[in-house]
Homo-oligomer: A and B are copies of this chain.
């Protein structure tokens, strides 16, 4: 009956673009879910989707056999778990924290030690797939932790993901794979912007260029996912520029710890920093293309009314 009791008491903290999609997929699978987010309008959306809104973090954690944390960075993770009336003081003994935020492996290990001290388990479980993956329940999870933590998270993992990579029993392994993975996601994002702006400047029709590159050797998942937003001038935030500034900082600081120079990632990070400096930090990460557009003056928008191009 332990499994049933656990399933009955799942909670999630952080209902942004990722957390909300994950939450809805759990609700669709009839996992009774309590949720909390600091933003009242987000809590209201969660209630509409059928979730039970907690008044605060403490209430969300109380009695939760599984507590999913999907906030932005280490500071927020620590605040949620260890802050004044933080979750660890209210989580039942033997409860599991499933940490989905992308943070440094060393931070994950530090959090895991505090979780253990509180008598709970940590599943280090960052995800990939973006808002689309969260919405569709098709995330890829890079997870490590004790078997009991995997067991407690089983129903939730099945609801949110297409693949769960089980990478070992120690905390920090999942975060390591995710950090390394972000090198590609962040670099490909900036490369996509650099390519599209270069093409626009060189006289290519950006729509035609997208069609060609996305079906050729220049293709990437990020290119396919983000360039349509650039073409549409759609900068409503799913994942923001600021989040990728943070993720590539993570890549570079892990690299520094390991004496590993990464010139391509460092260049991509600089461009994202420029985007943040120009005021686009809170916009969708595809708006990094604006850095290049402001340099070239050539908008990355489809040419109108022209069958042939250039």
Query: Which residue numbers of A lie inside 8 Å of B, CB to CB?
Result: 105, 128-130, 133, 140, 142, 144, 163, 165-170, 173, 176-177, 179-185, 187-188, 190-192, 194-195, 197-199, 201-204, 208-209, 211-213, 215-223, 225, 251, 254-255, 258-268, 270-271, 292, 295-296, 308-310
Pair B260/A264 contact, Cβ less than 8 Å: no
- Which residues on the B side are within 8 Å of A292 (C-beta)? 260
Given A177-B204, A212-B140, A220-B188: A183 in contact with B168 (beta carbons within 8 A): no
A253 to B22, CA, bound (A): 46
- B180 with A195: CB separation less than 8 A: yes
A310–B295 alpha-carbon span in the complex (Å): 43
The count of identical subunits is 2
Q: In the bound complex, do residue B185 and residue A199 qualify as a contact, i.e. CB atoms below 8 Å apart?
A: no
A276 to B208, CA, bound (A): 34
How far, in Å, is A70 (CB) from chain B's closest CB?
Answer: 16
CA distance A208 to B142 in the complex (A): 11
Q: Is the CB of B251 within 8 A of A198?
A: yes
* Interface contact A198-B263, CB-CB below 8 Å: no
Query: With a CB–CB cut-off of 8 A, which chain B residues contact A215?
Result: 140, 163
- Residues in B with CB closer than 8 Å to A225 are 217
Q: Which residue on B lies nearest to A271, using beta carbons?
A: B263
> Which residue of B185, B191, B201, B264 contacts A258 across the interface (Cβ within 8 Å)?
B201
Which residues from B are CB-within-8-Å of A165? 208, 211-212
A218: chain B residues within 8 A (beta carbon)? 128, 181-185, 188, 221-222
Cα distance A260–B292 in the bound complex, in angstroms: 8
Let me know if A129 and B216 touch, CB within 8 A.
Answer: yes
Indicate if the CB atoms of B212 and A217 lie closer than 8 Å.
Answer: no
Q: In the complex, what distance in Å separates the CA atom of A260 from the CA atom of B204?
A: 14
* Nearest CB on B from A161, distance (A): 11
CB of A254, distance to nearest CB on chain B (Å): 7
